[in-house]
């Protein structure tokens, strides 16, 4: 069988990546517009937050099954299947809106359907990257993936507000559908190397064993499992912060100021993503993960103390600057340690466990703020005479205290995780998977 040229594999990946970036920006635009539409019609933070819940929970629940199918079928066609399902969901929402029949529950159902198809997208996309890109360029490819995410985070808030005024939500949904067609066409036309598909199909084994394989694989490798649990804890803490950043800023500043802070954070994320994709891969990836996770915890803590937009913008820049480095380093570790033929199942399991804490965070963030922390920090609250003298009292200061607590817990979790030797030495103690069998009994 003829080997596919390595540089061609990188070119194919770049084409696919470009299409997915354009589609991601379109999806972020429609998510922004639909969120505004729901909030303007209901005025309910709970109903607004439910969009995030329906977007994340279904993907987590079906990820193990999705990962199994990704390993059993060509990765290109799994990505096509995923994009097609999400595109149809967007199209149906657009049709209902144009007919004047769109209801809030339609958006929840659309978010659920898109989430289910996204469960196939991520493991297929990530494992296809490992197959297409030469090992020496994997860090660069992961950096490019982070650039795509940063571009969506940066462009959607800025462009979404303007487009809502010019085109209304109908036009934004049309743009999203057009970006889907663009990415979908690239996936259909790009020449995926056939050997990458045939050589890496999963073995015929019982269905339950296929579904649970990813979990068994990770649990048997203590360093990888510890890294996964570390991220699950961190995602819970950051998930609470993510849900409360808007009410925190709006408690003392305008929506324009909030947009400025988030845009500066997007710039930090984009700058870091470009850096990751261009500089030489560091030798000790795990140290970079710990360092920037520690920085993130410090940033969250500091955000609770200040009610000054320029300071919060700087904090947002530093926090989001660390995310691409953390994410790309973690992804590269797993890509090196997991055989490509089982990456669909393993990566789906990783995504499910790491993100399982986020819906819980979305659920508890509001009640914690409204029922516990905000009352504590009113002018007559229990903590007004102590912590209130440091961070202030009144609206939003309870949320500020929550930021301080979540930031301190992030720092503590990082310090504790660093003490666990199998995690700290995961790159040295666990061999790369390139020359090893996929059998669990063979790999130590």
Q: Give the count of alpha carbons within 13 A of 88, CB side only.
A: 10
Q: How far apart are CA 109 and CA 114, in angstroms?
A: 9
Q: Which band of pLDDT confidence, cut at 50, 70 and 90, is reported for residue 237?
A: very high
Q: Are 391 and 374 in contact (CB under 8 A)?
A: no
Q: Are residues 188 and 148 in the same domain?
A: yes
pLDDT on residue 2 = 41
Q: How many domains does the chain have?
A: 2
CATH number at residue 239: 1.20.1250.20
Q: Are residues 170 and 227 in the same domain?
A: no
Q: Which band of pLDDT confidence, cut at 50, 70 and 90, is reported for residue 47?
A: confident
The residue among 4, 3, 21 whose CA lies nearest residue 277 is 21
Q: Are residues 110 and 259 in the same domain?
A: no
Q: Which residue has the tokens 């669990």?
A: 440
Q: Are residues 160 and 14 in the same domain?
A: yes
Q: Which band of pLDDT confidence, cut at 50, 70 and 90, is reported for residue 293?
A: very high
Q: Which of 201, 221, 247 is the last residue of a domain?
A: 201
Does residue 437 surpass a pLDDT of 90?
no
Q: Are residues 323 and 338 in the same domain?
A: yes
Q: Which of 152, 183, 201 is the last residue of a domain?
A: 201
Helices vs. strands in the chain: H and E counts, helices first: 19, 0
Give the range of the structural domain holding residue 214, as residue numbers without chain letter.
Answer: 207-444
Q: Are residues 17 and 135 in the same domain?
A: yes
Q: If you compute the radius of gyration of the chain from its CA atoms, what whole number of angstroms results? A: 22
Q: Are residues 10 and 68 in the same domain?
A: yes
Query: For residue range 208-217, what is the model confidence (pLDDT) as tens digits?
Result: 665 677 778 8
Q: Are residues 162 and 240 in the same domain?
A: no
Does residue 35 surpass a pLDDT of 80?
no
DSSP one-letter string for 363-384? HHHHHIIIIIIHHHTSTTSTTT
Of residues 242 and 41, more confidence is placed in 242
Residue 379 has a CB neighbour count (10 Å cut-off) of 9
Q: Are residues 234 and 347 in the same domain?
A: yes
Distances (CA, A) of 189 to 76, 87, 184, 185, 197: 10, 18, 9, 6, 16
Q: Are residues 155 and 215 in the same domain?
A: no
Q: Which of 159, 185, 201 is the last residue of a domain?
A: 201
Lowest mean pLDDT among 166-170, 199-203, 380-384: 199-203
Q: Are residues 168 and 190 in the same domain?
A: yes
Q: Are residues 179 and 315 in the same domain?
A: no
Q: Which band of pLDDT confidence, cut at 50, 70 and 90, is reported for residue 196?
A: very low
Query: For residue range 109-145, what is the model confidence (pLDDT) as tens digits?
Result: 988 888 888 888 878 887 778 777 887 777 788 778 7
């Amino acid at each position: 069988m003829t080997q596919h040229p390595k540089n061609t594999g990188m070119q194919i990946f770049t084409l696919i990546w470009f299409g997915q970036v354009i589609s991601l920006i379109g999806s972020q635009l429609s998510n922004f517009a639909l969120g505004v539409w729901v909030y303007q019609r209901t005025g309910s933070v709970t109903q607004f937050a439910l969009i995030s819940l329906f977007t994340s929970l279904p993907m987590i629940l079906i990820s193990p099954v999705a990962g199994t199918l990704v390993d059993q079928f060509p990765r290109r066609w799994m990505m096509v299947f995923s994009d097609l399902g999400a595109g149809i969901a967007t199209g149906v929402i657009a049709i209902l809106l144009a007919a004047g029949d769109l209801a809030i529950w339609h958006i929840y159902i659309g978010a659920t359907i898109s989430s289910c198809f996204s469960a196939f997208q991520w493991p297929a996309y990530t494992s296809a990257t490992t197959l297409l890109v030469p090992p020496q360029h994997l860090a660069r490819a992961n950096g490019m993936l982070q650039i795509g995410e940063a571009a969506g985070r940066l462009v959607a808030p800025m462009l979404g507000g303007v487009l809502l005024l010019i085109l209304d939500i109908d036009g934004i949904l049309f743009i999203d559908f057009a970006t889907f067609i663009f990415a979908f066409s690239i996936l259909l036309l790009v020449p995926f190397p056939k050997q990458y598909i045939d050589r890496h199909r999963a073995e015929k084994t019982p269905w339950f064993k296929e579904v649970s394989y990813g979990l068994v694989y990770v649990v048997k490798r203590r360093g990888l499992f510890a890294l996964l649990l570390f991220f699950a804890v961190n995602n819970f803490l950051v998930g609470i912060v993510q849900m409360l950043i808007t009410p925190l800023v709006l408690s003392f500043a305008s929506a324009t100021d909030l947009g400025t802070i988030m845009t500066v954070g997007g710039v930090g994320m984009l700058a870091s993503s470009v850096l990751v994709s261009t500089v030489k891969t560091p030798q000790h990836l795990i140290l970079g993960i710990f360092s920037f996770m520690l920085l993130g915890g410090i940033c969250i803590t500091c955000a609770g103390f200040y009610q000054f937009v320029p300071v919060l913008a700087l904090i947002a820049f530093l926090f989001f600057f660390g995310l691409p480095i953390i994410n790309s380093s973690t992804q590269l570790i797993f890509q090196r340690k997991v055989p490509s033929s089982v990456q669909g199942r393993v990566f789906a399991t990783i995504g499910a466990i790491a993100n399982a804490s986020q819906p819980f965070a979305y659920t508890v963030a509001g009640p914690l703020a409204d029922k516990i922390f905000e009352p504590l920090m009113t002018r007559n609250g229990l903590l007004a005479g102590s912590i209130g003298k440091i961070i202030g009292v009144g609206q939003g200061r309870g949320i500020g205290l929550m930021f301080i607590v979540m930031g301190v817990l992030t720092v503590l979790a990082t310090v504790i995780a660093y003490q666990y030797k199998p995690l700290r030495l995961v790159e040295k103690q666990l061999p790369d998977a390139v020359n090893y069998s996929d059998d669990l009994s063979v790999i130590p």
